[in-house]
């Protein structure tokens, strides 16, 4: 077996040093009737690399790759061009096969890029401090609610009807099992929601999304003020981080915690994961943050270096009193994010955002011009909602049958609300071309 260096002679010699007759002796603490007499039955034996690769090519062949079809799907995961440098960098073994930097003297590479990542996330979100990443945006949003509960010592979270339904579901699931309350406003496809009146003295936080799940761009300045008036925190979720190149950052609107899905920068679609959660807050709340934090310090020679810090918040020190049970972060995805954002820089990131907005504007105008189709958004970034003259799910399926990946029917994520049955979410990024948009418009004309 190509991954196993020990030879039969090595094994014999090692057993001799140990003083055991066989490997079985080393497993003597396993109860006899739980020891399998041989390998696990019903599973195939090892394969060569060629056979493995073929098997995966067979899986791939049963899917429609977005690179081979007109593609306009978003809803929390976005298709962007990732420069070749990014994937090359994250595959360097020194990054790929290193672990959590517990030994800072020999993991300065990881620690420094995470420090740079934390700085980039702070800048993008307009916040003071960011952690070294979360599993993804969706789990990060739930952690943000828990953090707000700790800070305010309250247990009622108010959830916007414009929050991504999966994010809402996760917050509700966590709330149910961890024993706090999550009150979701009703679906807000029109972007007209006003949460200010609902904030009260029991509210720990309000969770909103910008742009919303339906694509609307909102100013939450007044909501932030109302939250702070009531002693609650404002949590702003951003599922399309590229939007921060063009839209006022949540920090400027008065957000207390900002959670972003960072997938769009550096990370491919990957059928939903792994992605990278960005998590930022105000300095005064840093000790209530979940997740890893990297800080600057000096070494014994006085040279600048970086370490994991404030770990007294974390499970390996605090155990049942930790701010979160999280151990792993999304280190490598954070590296992809930070390398891509470094390549983009100020000018590239802003231009990327402008391109996205321009492509989506073009698509919105063309789709809205189709008979019976109504654009619900007055504002949007690179994704918007249209009302079709018929249910959206069969329309999307009919497009898929033509190998057109034409958006997400809202009913897939909000199955229990008949008012969204005809709604279709469409996204266009810098990757959209006429070669894709033309067939989408033609396809929609045919199936509507």
Partner 1 sequence: MVQSLDRSQGRAGGIAAAASDSPTFTGNRALQIEEPLIFEMGQPGRCGVDLPEPPKVKDRLNGLKRTGEIGLPGLSEPQVVQHYTRLSQKNYAIDMGVYPLGSCTMKHNPRINEKVARLPGIGDLHPLQPVSTVQGALELIDRLAHWLKTLTGMPAVAMSPAAGAHGEMCGMMAIAAALEARGERSKRRVVLAPESAHGTNPATAAALGFTVKPIPANERGRVDLASLKAALGSDVAAIMLTNPNTCGLFESEIVEISRAVHEAGAFFYCDGANFNAIVGRVRPGDLGVDCMHINLHKTFSTPHGGGGPGAGPVVLSAALAPYAPYPWIVKDGEKWRVAEDGAAVDGKPLGRLKAFHGQMGMFTRALSYIMSHGADGLKQAAEDAVLSANYVMAALKDVMTPAFEGPCMHEALFDDGFLKDTGVSTLDFAKAMIDEGYHPMTMYFPLVVHGAMLIEPTESQAKEDLDVFIAALRSLAERAKSGTAAEEFKAAPRFAPRRRLDETLAARKPVLRWRPSNNPPEGDPLKQAAD
* Site for partner 1, residues 213 to 232, rule: CB under 8 A: 216-219
Give 171: exposed, middle or buried? Use CB within 10 Å, 0-12, 13-18, 19+. Answer: buried
* 294 lines the binding site for partner 1 (CB under 8 A): yes
Q: CB within 8 A of 179, min separation 6: which ones?
A: 155
* 8 lines the binding site for partner 1 (CB under 8 A): no
Q: Which among 137-145, 194-202, 230-238, 435-443 is the span making contact with partner 1, rule CB under 8 A?
A: 137-145
Count of positions on this chain that bind partner 1 (CB under 8 A): 217
Binder of partner 1 out of 295, 372, 389, 438 (CB under 8 A): 295
Q: Give the nearer residue to partner 1 in terms of CB position, either 203 or 220.
A: 220
Q: Which among 83-91, 199-207, 227-235, 439-447 is the span making contact with partner 1, rule CB under 8 A?
A: 83-91
* 435 lines the binding site for partner 1 (CB under 8 A): no
* Site for partner 1, residues 312 to 371, rule: CB under 8 A: 312, 314-322, 324-333, 335, 339, 341-352, 354-355, 357-358, 361-362, 364
Q: Cβ distance 301 to 268 under 8 Å?
A: no
* 30 lines the binding site for partner 1 (CB under 8 A): yes
Q: Give the nearer residue to partner 1 in terms of CB position, either 9 or 201.
A: 9
Q: Give the nearer residue to partner 1 in terms of CB position, either 60 or 197.
A: 60
User: Considering the complex, what minimum distance in angstroms separates the CB of residue 405 from partner 1?
Assistant: 6
Q: Give the nearer residue to partner 1 in terms of CB position, either 10 or 200.
A: 10
* 254 lines the binding site for partner 1 (CB under 8 A): no
Give, in order, the Cα–Cα distances in Å from 95 to each of 1, 71, 84, 100, 276.
Answer: 26, 32, 16, 10, 16
The enclosing H or E element of 130 equals strand 129-130
Going 202 to 208 to 406 to 63, the CA torsion angle's sign is negative
Q: Cβ distance 128 to 257 under 8 Å?
A: no
* Site for partner 1, residues 360 to 419, rule: CB under 8 A: 361-362, 364, 377-381, 396-397, 400-401, 405, 408, 412-413, 415-416
* Site for partner 1, residues 178 to 197, rule: CB under 8 A: 178-179
* 247 lines the binding site for partner 1 (CB under 8 A): yes
HSE-CB at 268 with a 13 A cutoff on CA atoms is 10
Q: Could you tell me the two tokens for 295?
A: 């800080």
- 110-115 contacts, C-beta under 8 A, 24 or more apart: 110/331, 111/294, 111/305, 111/306, 111/307, 111/308, 112/306, 113/334, 113/335, 113/338, 114/292, 114/294, 114/306, 114/331, 114/334, 115/294, 115/295, 115/296, 115/306
Neighbours of 57 (CB within 10 A): 9
Give, in order, the Cα–Cα distances in Å from 129 to each of 33, 114, 257.
Answer: 54, 12, 10
Binder of partner 1 out of 67, 153, 197, 371 (CB under 8 A): 67
Neighbours of 373 (CB within 10 A): 18
Binder of partner 1 out of 60, 186, 197, 435 (CB under 8 A): 60
Closest by alpha carbon to 352, among 266, 251, 280, 275? 266
Q: Give the nearer residue to partner 1 in terms of CB position, either 231 or 347.
A: 347
* Site for partner 1, residues 93 to 132, rule: CB under 8 A: 93-110, 112-116, 118-120, 122-124, 129-130, 132
User: Considering the complex, what minimum distance in angstroms separates the CB of residue 121 from partner 1?
Assistant: 9
User: Considering the complex, what minimum distance in angstroms separates the CB of residue 442 from partner 1?
Assistant: 18
Q: Which among 155-163, 192-200, 222-230, 310-318 is the span making contact with partner 1, rule CB under 8 A?
A: 310-318
Instruction: Report how far residue 272's alpha carbon sits from residue 232's, in angstroms, rounded to the nearest whole number.
Output: 32
Binder of partner 1 out of 273, 288, 368, 448 (CB under 8 A): 273
The pair phi, psi for residue 281, each rounded to 5°, is -155, -170
Instruction: Report how far residue 199's alpha carbon sits from residue 221's, in angstroms, rounded to the nearest whole number.
Output: 14
User: Considering the complex, what minimum distance in angstroms separates the CB of residue 195 from partner 1?
Assistant: 17
* 56 lines the binding site for partner 1 (CB under 8 A): yes
Q: CB within 8 A of 351, min separation 6: which ones?
A: 245
* Site for partner 1, residues 146 to 175, rule: CB under 8 A: 146, 164-167, 169-170, 172-173
């Amino acid at each position: 077996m190509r991954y196993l260096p020990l030879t039969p002679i090595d094994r014999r010699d090692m057993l001799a040093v140990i003083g055991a007759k066989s490997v079985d002796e080393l497993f003597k603490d396993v109860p006899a009737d739980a020891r399998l007499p041989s390998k696990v039955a019903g599973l195939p034996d090892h394969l060569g690399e060629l056979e493995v690769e073929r098997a995966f090519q067979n899986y791939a062949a049963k899917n429609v790759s977005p690179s081979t079809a007109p593609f306009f799907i978003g809803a929390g995961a976005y298709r962007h061009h990732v420069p070749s440098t990014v994937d090359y960098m994250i595959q360097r073994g020194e990054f790929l096969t290193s672990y959590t930097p517990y030994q800072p003297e020999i993991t300065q590479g990881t620690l420094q890029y995470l420090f740079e990542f934390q700085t980039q996330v702070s800048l993008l979100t307009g916040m003071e401090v960011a952690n070294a990443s979360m599993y993804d945006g969706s789990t990060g949003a739930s952690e943000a609610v828990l953090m707000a509960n700790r800070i305010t010592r309250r247990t009622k979270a108010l959830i916007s009807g414009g929050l991504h339904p999966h994010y809402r579901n996760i917050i509700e699931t966590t709330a149910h099992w961890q024993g706090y309350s999550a009150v979701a406003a009703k679906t807000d496809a029109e972007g007209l929601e006003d949460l200010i009146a609902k904030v009260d003295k029991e509210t720990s936080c309000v969770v909103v999304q910008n742009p919303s799940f339906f694509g609307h761009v909102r100013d939450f300045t007044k909501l932030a003020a109302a939250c702070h008036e009531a002693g609650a925190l404002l949590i702003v979720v951003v599922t399309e981080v590229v939007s921060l190149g063009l839209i006022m950052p949540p920090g400027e609107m008065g957000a207390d915690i900002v959670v972003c899905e960072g997938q769009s920068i550096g990370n491919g679609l990957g059928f939903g994961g792994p992605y990278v959660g960005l998590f930022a807050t105000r300095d005064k709340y840093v000790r209530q943050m979940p997740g890893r934090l990297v800080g600057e310090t000096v070494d014994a020679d006085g040279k600048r270096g970086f370490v994991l810090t404030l770990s007294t918040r974390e499970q390996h020190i605090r155990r049942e009193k930790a701010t979160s049970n999280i151990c792993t972060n999304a280190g490598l995805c954070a590296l992809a994010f930070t390398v891509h954002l470094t390549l983009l820089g100020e000018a590239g990131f802003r231009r990327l955002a402008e391109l996205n907005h321009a492509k989506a504007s073009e698509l919105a105008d063309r789709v809205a011009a189709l008979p019976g189709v109504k654009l619900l958004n007055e504002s949007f970034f690179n994704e918007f909602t249209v009302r079709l003259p018929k249910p959206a799910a069969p329309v999307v399926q009919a497009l898929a049958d033509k190998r057109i990946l034409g958006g997400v029917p809202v009913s897939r994520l909000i199955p229990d609300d008949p008012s969204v049955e005809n709604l279709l979410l469409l996204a266009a990024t810098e990757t959209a071309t006429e070669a894709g948009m033309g067939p989408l418009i033609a396809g929609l004309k045919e199936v509507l």
